[in-house]
Structure 1
Amino acid sequence: MPQPISNAYVRDLDRRYVFHSWSTQGNLDPLVIAGGQGCRLWDHDGREYLDFSSQLVFTNLGHQHPKVVAAIQAQAASLATVAPATANLMRGEAAKRIIARAPDGFAKVFFTNAGADANENAMRMARLFTGRPKILSAYRSYHGNTGAAIVATGEGRRLSNEYATGHVHFFGPYLYRSEFHAGSEQEECERALRHLRRVIESEGPSSIAAILLETVPGSVGILVPPAGYLQGVRALADEFGLLLILDEVMAGFGRCGSWLALERFDVVPDLITFAKGVNSGYVPAGGVMISARLCDFFETRYFPGGLTYSGHPLAMAAIVATLDAMHEEGVVENARQVGEEVLGPGLKALADRHAVIGEARGIGLFWALELVEDRQRRTPLPAAQMARIKARLLERGLIPFIVDNRIHVLPPCIVSAEEVRQALAIYDDVLGSL
């Protein structure tokens, strides 16, 4: 009789043969996961966890949604793969559904394998369209770990990877740690826009192809832009003849309580990148939503880009099933309601109770708790303390998303009010034990 699989066996297998990303390999002790359903996961030894990370913020529809699983199975049975130069029913249906959720004036989708290569190709399109080399992006940003995307990234992970050229960074708004000595959201917005204007003028508008921004910067802290900021960036782009690319890889498809995060800020870019939540990460997929004027440009001009698995049928079937299920089951509406009525107020109440929380901020089901040693000085909580918090949360059966001195709170968009209350109680207990 075969022996049952154990956590120890899976962990040993991983440590022997798997090389992990963003890691010093010898220090790893990976969490073992065997299966999941909805907002919950479990290991081979029967331990269950509430997933408040959505993994890397992509299981917006939760784990093992039956409609998406069935769609992948059906597609695998009829046509498991096909070259991207062909026309395929699922690819067309997926693109049609995505464009239906885009702002007016968007026409087509270029499919990629993930968010990083979506940003790569959006920047390529912008450079080809304008004939200019430079891309402006924020210091507090993450756009992926491919050649140009990692250099467009502003945070520290770019520093070991700066091989691409033509990238310039600027500071975006972040009132809690303002670069502009602002005392209000309005001041932060005005001063951040004035700073961006000076960067554009100093770099030379005629050398800049596009401004690339996460609609809501995610990995760097869930930095919800102040009212008017994204509209101000759009106005600057128009004034200087630049394109605006919004990166919705993490913030899109329900995460912010809307189909796309940009809907919450009344802004329309020229290109939109996406991945993650578009099919809940069940099969790798990403892409670029392209406005009509850029589509018209490439009607008579060659586009020098492509990927072997662009528009892979299994990924496309997962997109179609995910977007249909989100529509039929009111998933976006649930994300907005639970975020506004339960998660947001609950996290702000925790901030009122625990001095270690410097700020609770977010939108929809996209939140962060910024932890500090001293509220007055806003000194970040040290890494050793954050590691202890992560261990205690896992001990209590909750999978967290920890970045620097922050707990990012990111449940699947199907999460129930009761599951949120359960998670809030765990956060409360663990933070209270510090």
Structure 2
Amino acid sequence: MCMFVKSPAVSDLIAREIDASGPISFARFMELALYEPGDGYYASGKVRIGKQGDFFTNVSVGAFFGRLLAGQLVEVWERLGRPGDFTVVEQGAHDGTLAADVVSALSELLPGGFRYLIIEPASFWRTEQEKVLGRFGDRIGWVDDVSRLPRFRGVHLSNELVDALPFHLLQSQGDGWRELMVIRAGDGFAFQSADTDVIPPALPERPEGVLLEVRPAAVAWLASMAERLEAGMILIIDYGYTRENLWAEHRTRGTFSCYSGHRRDDDVLSNPGSKDITSHVDFTQLADEAGRLGLGVEGFADQHHYLVGASETYLRSLEGSAPVGESRKALRNLQTLIHPESMGRQFHYLGLVKDLPPPAASGFRYARGTAALLESVAAMRVRA
């Protein structure tokens, strides 16, 4: 699989590393292509969301999505005993639009003390976020790395973060699995299989050539967040499946893909630094690791069921008090977000909790996936 380079700085960097140390994992290739300071797709600010960008997300619908999430954060605040030091941590905040929507709503719902911290290593995005969020003054703070995040009580919020964490690509040999490493190939790059230590135990038997992804980086990320959360919730919003679905026999090419200008392609080695690289999240992996870290699984739901539950209180508050136009707009936004043929089935919500009293968040009121997720974790532990 070769390519012609459109982002020479990233491509040259990858080529030099391969020349110096030999084949690299696809996870390392992805790390450089997406996160290399100044040149990577995310770190340089190339990513654009919305109609004129590379892909749509929940934030594209408007402020309504942030308003519903703010209502869920208030529920956690109440369950924690209404602490004055309540903190919301967002990671993967992009240009700060979701943060602005959430903080605007929280300023009305929690006029007292709360703090909104953003984990942002990229200087470009930090500058963009400061432009959008400057009006909120010292309610907003930043840290450039998870290691600098203070211990907190509240909620860690991520919207499409885990799917962009680097992953390794594995290929079935028919009688086992090998990792696909990245090598030089003329002016581009290609894959070469190798035996490595990242292949997990109890992988399913698959015909020769079948591909799948594994993401150890997600385990390390969750461990770092669990360590810093004193009490509250880690709310993960992303697209993905339980492991049984993710590793189903019909997924012969895995779930990885690239996006640029609303066009999808599977040529993950072409044009590094110029497009998004992603794969679906293994929610079984996250839930399993959560148990090892002392976190509980409060709920797992697709976006349709989560937002129906999360929106009930807000929509009732509009009845008879809000202008008809505002109520109709809210309903249209909700319908867009929960449509089963679009975002409603594509995105999932995983709530992980530590020392957080009941009742469960209203967003998980109609959750249909929690039992299946816990069964998937139990089955995975048996196989291991």
Output the TM-score relative to the length of structure 2: 0.25
**Higher strand fraction (1 or 2):** 2
Output the TM-score relative to the length of structure 1: 0.23
